[in-house]
Amino acid sequence: MLAATAGPAVGAALTGYDKAGLPVLTVTDGDTTHLSRVYTCLRPNDAYQMRPVAEYLTGRDRGTTLLVDDGTTYGWQTTRFLSEALRAGKNLVTPATVAADADHTAVARDAVRAAAGAVLYGGGPTGAARLARALTAAGYRGRTVATRAVHDLRFLQEAGESAEGWLLVSTAVDPSSAAAPPAARAFDTAFRARHDRPAPLHAAEAYDAVHLLARCARDLGRAQVGRGDLVPTLRATTHEGVSKRYAFEQANGTYTGDGLFCYEVASARFRLLGTRSTAWPG
């Protein structure tokens, strides 16, 4: 299975694929509970993606950081990792849990009352949009940061002007950006020439995944290759993709390397700034 889909769908499929000994590759899911003998993650996992956020916030005189999760496994993994990193850096942390479809007014007012220097949202685009609107209404003026799950047009559409200035870390490159790797920009040029539109989100990563599979099959050097044959060779293969370099832990299929991109919402779009936390405004 080659999937660009939500974590719950990947988790539901894993049992059958694991039993059959067939490989599962995903360009979007990074749930650490999905690690298995057939799972290969083509991006940093949900906890590791918070590394640049921790670097950005640690040691800065921002007062407390409010960590808001949506009560899901994804929200728990991202905010707990960041909480540990910030506390280790002597930063003050205040956790909060608010369901994505709930009223975010109270937590927004808490952010203002506590004079929080930063608010981090661990969850998806709808909950982030609700929080963004609530923070604007409450008069919050500090930094607002989100995770890969918010790299979604629904956040821009639902948050409106309240999305402006939000920072987020993502595992997907915008290949049309001047800040993207040269190979990704070349991919976007070729995509536009063929399809008469910009490459959509995750197109570059999906392209890389297909070429990674093709390389594994080719390197086996057999006339016929079955899907099960790819399981052991996938994790032993490194591949220079158009979006990033792919390499994996052979023991569990975890992606190794950076593979993260830093964005800022500006003029109602996600603007790629670079691959390091230093790309974000101070």
Dump pLDDT digits (tens) for 175-223.
Answer: 999 999 999 999 999 999 999 999 999 999 999 999 999 998 888 888 7
Dump pLDDT digits (tens) for 133-167.
Answer: 999 999 999 999 999 999 999 999 999 999 999 99
SS (H, E, C) the chain: CEECCCHHHHHHHHHHHHHHCCCEEECCCCCHHHCCCCEEECCCCCCHHHHHHHHHHCCCCCCEEEEEECCCHHHHHHHHHHHHHHHHCCCEEEEEECCCCCCCHHHHHHHHHCCCCEEEEECCHHHHHHHHHHHHHHCCCCEEEECHHHCCHHHHHHHHHHHCCCEEEECCCCCCCCCCCHHHHHHHHHHHHHHCCCCCCCHHHHHHHHHHHHHHHHHHCCCCCCHHHHHHHHCCCCEECCCCEECECCCCCCECCCCCEEEEEECCEEEEEECCHHHCCC
Q: What was the pLDDT predicted at 31?
A: 79
Q: Are 109 and 131 in contact (CB under 8 A)?
A: no
Decide if pLDDT at 61 tops 90: no
Decide if pLDDT at 126 tops 80: yes
Decide if pLDDT at 26 tops 80: yes
Q: What was the pLDDT predicted at 4?
A: 52
Q: What was the pLDDT predicted at 14?
A: 79
Say how far apart CA 194 and CA 189 lie, in whole Å: 9
Mean pLDDT (whole number) for 226-239: 85
Dump pLDDT digits (tens) for 77-113.
Answer: 899 999 999 998 888 999 999 999 999 999 999 999 9
Q: What was the pLDDT predicted at 120?
A: 97
Mean pLDDT (whole number) for 271-276: 94
* Residue 129, strand partner residues: none
DSSP strand pairing (39-41 vs 64-69): unpaired
Q: What was the pLDDT predicted at 127?
A: 97
Decide if pLDDT at 2 tops 60: no
Q: What was the pLDDT predicted at 75?
A: 92
Decide if pLDDT at 3 tops 80: no
Q: What is the mean pLDDT of the chain?
A: 90
Mean pLDDT (whole number) for 1-19: 71
Give the residue, 227 or 68, on which the prediction is more confident. Answer: 68
Q: Residue 59 — very low, low, confident or very high, per pLDDT cuts 50/70/90? A: low
Dump pLDDT digits (tens) for 62-81.
Answer: 679 999 999 998 899 899 99
Q: What was the pLDDT predicted at 6?
A: 67
Q: What was the pLDDT predicted at 248?
A: 92
